[in-house]
């Protein structure tokens, strides 16, 4: 049964003005801040070769490089609450400063327990940019440009992974594990300065003019979008986590060749996010494209499972590339919808809940699906991801096809 959606609450106050150039500049600063967060959180795992080469066991090294993700997941909602209370600019300055300080201190530590604490603190700082940068976009961009702008903002993650892959292992190999963290530290410091100078909090209606009611009460819309995003992040995490191993182990590709293909899919995935956002602007809905992306994810992952099971590599490899684009295209759509629907005094927490659910799910995919691969092989994992994505299709709200506000 379809559930009705609450009327979207404008984030910015009516009549708010800012120059188009400044609007796009703030988008660029938001992308930069999000990129630095991705470098810190997703780049630390690139230290695994250096850590294990130094004699650390893989389980211990794995726990150490997971500390930024743990710090991020623990504080996403808290940062969202701060943004709801005091605004976006302070979060976009304070968070990168915490990353900068943690990374700089890590460069001088010789204790692995201390390094773990600093990595956790870096993850705490990294959590600040997720909701705050999204709120700036939704607050300053009109509805018919938000999808495109949010799609551009969502490229921060693949950009961060790419920059980290090119820099952190090289620095770690030449100078050591701790000095490698100066890379995200320096970039985070620059992001803090940019946000301090360039970010302006979007004006919001006075609390007296807004009910400030909890949008999670009386409607299932936001909860359904969260559920859809959690289910659809499983195929994304599956492809990102296991693509290189699958190409190398089952297809016999060299690590260099497999790595090049995976890097290429990151770039295509970033373009896919931008395209999905522009598509949502054009049709005037976030949910129509979201539902169709979910259908495409089911079909692509199911076909990938079938072709890998039958060893039709001529079809499986192109399907992997398609899946790498399709499975990430929903992120910006759901993110924008949460901010639009939660309203000016709840969207920070809403985006924090959104990111927390997705990050916890992503963290669960490697061990759970890794065990499934060990027991049955890659085809079963691809089919399982398709099945979970299929559950998301009927959960997509249908009432959000009203004109965006």
* Dihedral sign (CA 211, 216, 220, 226): positive
What integer is the mean pLDDT of 324-352? 86
Q: Which of 173, 236, 248, 264 lies closest to 382, judged by CA?
A: 236
b/e per residue, 224-240, with b = 16+ CB within 10 A?
bbbbbbbbbbbbbbbbb
Averaged confidence pLDDT in the chain: 85
DSSP state of 7: P
Residue 63: pLDDT band (50, 70, 90) is confident
- Percent of the chain at pLDDT > 90 equals 39
pLDDT band at 12 (very low <50, low <70, confident <90, very high): very low
pLDDT band of 402, cuts 50, 70, 90 = very low
Q: And the tokens for 36?
A: 């630095």
pTM for the complete prediction? 0.79
Q: Judge contact between 308 and 245, C-beta under 8 A.
A: no
pLDDT in tens, 248-262: 888 888 877 887 888
**230-245 average pLDDT score:** 87
H/E element, 307? helix 287-309
Is 230 a residue whose pLDDT tops 80? yes
- Tell me the C-alpha distance between 229 and 243, whole Å: 21
Place of tokens 């120059």: 19
Rounded to whole angstroms, the Cα distance separating 223 from 228 reads 9
Task: Say what the pLDDT of residue 37 is.
Answer: 94
* pLDDT the model gives residue 327: 93
pLDDT tens digits for range 80-96? 889 888 889 999 999 99
DSSP 181: T
pLDDT of the residue at 105:
94
pLDDT on residue 206: 62
Token pair for 116: 């773990």
CA dist., res. 123 & res. 265, Å (int): 26
Which among 76, 378, 362 has a CA at the least distance from the CA of 232?
362
pLDDT of residue 6: 40
Which of 12, 286, 25, 295 has its CA nearest to residue 151?
Answer: 286
Q: What is the mean pLDDT of residues 269-296?
A: 91
User: What whole-number distance in Å separates Cα of residue 200 and Cα of residue 189?
Assistant: 18
pLDDT at 11: 45
The span from the CA of 402 to the CA of 71, in Å, is 38
**Tokens representing residue 128 in the block:** 């600040």
Per mean pLDDT, which of 163-172, 192-201, 363-372 is the most reliable?
192-201
Residue among 361, 364, 243, 221 at smallest CA distance from 290: 221
Question: What ranges in 54-111 are assigned the alpha helix state H?
Answer: 58-86, 88-106
């Amino acid at each position: 049964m379809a559930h009705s959606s609450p009327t979207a609450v404008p984030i910015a106050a009516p009549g708010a003005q800012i120059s188009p150039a400044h609007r796009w500049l703030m988008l660029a600063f938001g992308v930069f801040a999000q990129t630095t967060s991705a470098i810190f959180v997703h780049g630390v795992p690139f230290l695994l070769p250096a850590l294990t080469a130094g004699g650390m066991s893989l389980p211990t090294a794995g726990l150490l490089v997971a500390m930024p993700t743990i710090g991020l997941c623990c504080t996403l909602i808290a940062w969202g609450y701060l943004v709801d209370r005091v605004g976006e600019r302070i979060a976009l300055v304070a968070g990168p400063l915490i990353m900068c300080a943690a990374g700089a201190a890590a460069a001088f530590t010789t204790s692995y327990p201390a390094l773990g604490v600093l990595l956790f603190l870096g993850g705490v700082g990294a959590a600040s940019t997720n909701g705050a940068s999204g709120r700036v976009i939704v607050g300053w961009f009109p509805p018919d440009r938000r999808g495109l702008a949010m799609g551009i903002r969502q490229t921060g993650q693949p950009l961060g992974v790419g920059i980290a892959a090119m820099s952190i292992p090289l620095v770690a190999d030449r100078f050591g594990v701790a000095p490698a963290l100066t890379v995200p530290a320096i970039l985070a410091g620059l992001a803090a300065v940019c946000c301090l100078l360039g970010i302006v909090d979007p004006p919001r209606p006075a609390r007296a003019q807004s009910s400030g009611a909890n949008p999670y009460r009386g409607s299932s819309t936001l909860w359904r979008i969260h559920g859809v995003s959690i289910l659809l992040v499983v195929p994304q995490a599956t492809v990102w986590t296991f693509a290189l191993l699958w190409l190398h182990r089952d297809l016999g590709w060299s690590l260099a060749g497999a790595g090049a293909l995976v890097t290429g899919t990151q770039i295509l995935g970033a373009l896919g996010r931008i395209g999905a956002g522009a598509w949502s602007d054009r049709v005037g809905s976030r949910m129509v494209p979201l539902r169709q992306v979910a259908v495409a994810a089911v079909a692509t992952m199911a076909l990938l499972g079938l072709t890998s099971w039958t060893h039709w590599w001529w079809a499986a490899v192109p399907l992997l590339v398609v899946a790498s684009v399709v499975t990430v295209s929903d992120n910006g759509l759901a993110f924008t919808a949460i901010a639009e629907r939660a309203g000016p005094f709840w969207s920070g927490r809403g985006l924090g809940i959104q990111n927390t659910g997705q990050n916890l799910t992503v963290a669960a995919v490697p061990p759970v699906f890794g065990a499934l691969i060990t027991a049955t092989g890659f085809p079963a994992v691809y089919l399982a991801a398709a099945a979970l994505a299929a559950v998301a299709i009927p959960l997509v709200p249908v009432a959000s096809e009203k004109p965006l506000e």
